[in-house]
A and B are shown apart, each in its own frame.
Chain A
Amino acid sequence: MIFLTNLISGLSLGSVYAIIALGYTMVYGISKMLNFAHGDVIMIGGYMSFVMTMYMGLNGWLALLVAMVICTLLGVTIERLAYRPLRGTGSLAVLITAIGVSYFLQNIALLIWGANPKMFTSLFKGMKPVHAAGGQLTITPESILTILANIVIMILLTLFVSKTKAGKAMRAVSEDNGAAQLMGINVNQSISLTFAIGSGLAAVAGVLMLSAYPVLMPTTGAMPGIKAFTAAVFGGIGSIPGAMIGGLILGIIEIFSRSYISTELSDAIVFACLIIVLLVKPTGLLGKKISEKV
């Protein structure tokens, strides 16, 4: 029973990582940059949703929608102002800029909302947990719905990328930026769209994460951001199903190592697993093999 409880906790935590990892992976795929500010977009999404429900009295779901819109705009703006001027100058300069953006978002949240943490009201408040196996197994609505949301998002995103014109354009740009441009694809638009989707999903991830783990602070997004980045690499950075698998595995490893090995070393174990996976498969579980030309 404990095993099952842990498995469900792991899947639920992993689903949050997976949704965040999507943002990392898509952005990496299309612009080959590590967007370290992504975790902080999650935090902003959380605050937006909090403000909407607590101060504006909006319904949780409506608040989520508003948060998504705001995060989408935020993501596009960040890309336009901070990243686009540096496009094509090598990944290091953009990486540092992304870290600057991350500091910026954290400190702006600190100034606006103060240092005191806020307790986030669960999106699924009022739903009863499911009891199974004679009360030994308790499944919270947050767990179930987070896992479901993850699956739905993954399916929709895969369909979007493979079926729609905009999605195909995104894939083309991530495959070969220059060639895509020659084919008449608007590269800027595609990249903006990627940031928009990634940041919108970040808001969803933020609300789901905070529904389960309710403490909201300006630094809330930092560690999940790093973990999700790890998950993206785990699954093979640039690959959408990879992000999902990586996220889920990471969540399960984290919860299991905390339950069965050590609560103190669980992060170390997670990162050690990542290193082992990369030793066996240097480009992650589903990553493409990069062929090098002379």
Chain B
Amino acid sequence: MKKTWTKVVVVALSCMMAFVMAACGGGGSSDSGDNTLKLGCTGPLTGPAAIYGNAVKNGGQIAVDEINAANPDGVQVAWQVEDDEADGEKAVNAYNKLMDDGMQVFVGSVTSGACVAVAEKTNADRVFELTPSASQAAVTEGKDNVFQLCFRDPDQGTISADYIMENFPDAKVGVIYNNASDYSAGIFDGFKKEMDAKGREIVAVEAFSDDANTDFQAQLNSMKNAGADFVFLPNYYTPVSNILVQADKMGYAPTFFGCDGVDGILTLEGFDTSLAEGVYLLTPFTASAEDEKTQNFVNAYKEAYGEEPNQFAADAYDCVYAVYNAFNAAGVDTSASAADICEALVAQFAGGFSYEGLTASNAMKWQATGEVDKMPAVYIIEGGKYVEK
């Protein structure tokens, strides 16, 4: 019996502690009388996908700091990012926590799987949602209040396929993609559809999974044996860097072509950038772009966080600005409820609002379905820099 009682004591104490803490967290919504728009976001700040969540957190912060410094008397912006470990369940918890804290507009989630789960909630709660980087089609499907700032995955695949067919008519194309990643699998899906539709053959398709993303020799050998001289890599830069290193060791040197996820490879600490020479990538943003806006952002980011921003950081930066501009254009007050702000912003975004940002060469516009219209550009890596093609 003694043991039971020990446990009862421990359990009861910790129970009380947890509930008190949970209650404290719940009651924390402060009605600040000041003129502040509260933006919230959930993303993976820990775990294997933590790079993406942290980039969004930091990129958004840069935009928020800029806005707040530029308009000391105007609408101020607050930016709160909660960890969701790229998991749907945790993302819903994190979103609910943001709601408890009085969030008015949701700028998330970072990863698609988590975002689909949260989008359902924002739709029910009538909270406006603009995701920086959740690129699955299911994110916006059937939800009038959810918009994307990034390309949809299959669209990137389609654009890539068109580009390759036009510019590399004789190349024997192979694909190595991550079948455990919605991003990678989504792009491949669109890519394959387009290639099939236009009657172009893919000579070899190999997949890998997140658990086995270290050794690519089998996949590369298969590419080599199929005679592929052009390899499409719809992956993030981490596996791509690994693939480049191993291809180099094997002495296999086809033309590599990646999507926006490859951006960031040149600043990867310890990476021999000479391996990335001649790699093509289709991306709406690169940190080495010369225009003033991008350079300001990149410099501010470097100064604050000591590293170059990637695609995700730029997407978040654009998201904050887009929401801020649309909010001002809508003429709503910061004291309005989240639902009122939602209706006003939906009217803006679906009604021809446009925004010129870092992540598109044109002014972005949104369709009522939530999809963004923007153009990516194709770059090639030459001399350790992105050169636009």
Contact = CB atoms under 8 A, between A and B. Distances in A.
Interface of A: 2, 5-6, 9, 13, 50, 54, 107, 110, 114-121, 129, 135, 138, 140, 142, 209, 212-219, 223-224, 254-255, 258-259, 263-264, 266-267
Given A2-B221, A119-B270, A255-B218, A266 B212 contact: yes
B269 A223 contact: no
Nearest to A262: B207
B208 A263 contact: yes
Given A2-B225, A9-B218, A138-B251, A267 B212 contact: yes
29 contacts: A5-B217, A6-B221, A9-B215, A54-B270, A110-B50, A115-B50, A119-B241, A119-B245, A119-B268, A119-B269, A119-B272, A120-B270, A138-B250, A140-B249, A140-B250, A213-B246, A214-B242, A215-B213, A216-B270, A217-B238, A219-B47, A219-B48, A223-B211, A258-B215, A263-B207, A263-B218, A263-B219, A264-B209, A267-B211
Given A2-B225, A54-B270, A138-B250, 15 more contacts: A2-B221, A5-B221, A50-B270, A116-B268, A129-B251, A209-B214, A213-B214, A215-B238, A259-B218, A259-B222, A263-B206, A263-B207, A263-B222, A266-B218, A267-B209
B218 A110 contact: no
B46 interface: yes
A115 B93 CA distance: 22
A86 B51 CA distance: 36
Interface in B255-280: 268-272
B117 to A, nearest CB: 22
Most buried by B among A138, A209, A215: A215
Task: Identify the interface centre among A120, A209, A213: most chain B CB within 10 Å of its CB.
Answer: A213
A241 to B, nearest CB: 25
A223 B307 CA distance: 28
B87 to A, nearest CB: 14
A263 B174 CA distance: 15
A168 B149 CA distance: 65
Nearest to A210: B214
Nearest to A226: B211
Contacts of B48: 217, 219
B179 interface: yes
Contacts of B109: none
Nearest to A54: B270
B242 A215 contact: yes
A213 B242 contact: yes
B156 interface: no
Which of B46, B53, B219 gathers the greatest number of chain A CB atoms within 10 Å?
Answer: B46
A223 B215 CA distance: 12
Nearest to A113: B269
Interface bracket on B? 35 or more
Contacts of B268: 116-119
A215 B211 contact: no
Contacts, number: 105
A119, A140, A223: which has the most chain B beta carbons within 10 Å? A119
Contacts of B307: 114, 116
Interface in B194-218: 206-209, 211-215, 217-218
A255 B269 contact: no
A117 B47 contact: no
Nearest to B219: A263
A223 B208 CA distance: 14
B54 interface: yes
A168 B371 CA distance: 69
Given A2-B225, A223-B211, A258 B218 contact: yes
Contacts of A255: 215, 217-218
Contacts of A267: 209, 211-212
B82 to A, nearest CB: 16
Given A214-B242, A259-B222, A54 B217 contact: no
Nearest to A224: B214
B267 to A, nearest CB: 9
A213 B215 contact: yes
B242 A264 contact: no
Given A121-B270, A217-B238, A129 B46 contact: no
A274 to B, nearest CB: 15
Contacts of A266: 212, 218
A264 B218 contact: no
Closest 9 CB pairs of A and B: A115-B50, A119-B270, A213-B214, A258-B218, A119-B271, A259-B218, A115-B51, A219-B48, A118-B269
B51 A9 contact: no
A230 to B, nearest CB: 12
Contacts of B45: 115
A117 B217 CA distance: 21
Contacts of A254: 212, 215
Contacts of B246: 213
Contacts of A219: 47-48
Nearest to B224: A2
Contact of A6 (B46, B179, B218, B272): B218
A266 B179 CA distance: 13
Interface in B31-78: 45-48, 50-51, 53-54
Candidate in A216, A223, A255 with the most chain B CB atoms within 10 angstroms: A223
B338 to A, nearest CB: 30
A218 B50 CA distance: 10
Given A116-B269, A263-B208, A267-B212, A215 B241 contact: yes
A217 B221 CA distance: 26
Given A118-B269, A119-B269, A214 B211 contact: no
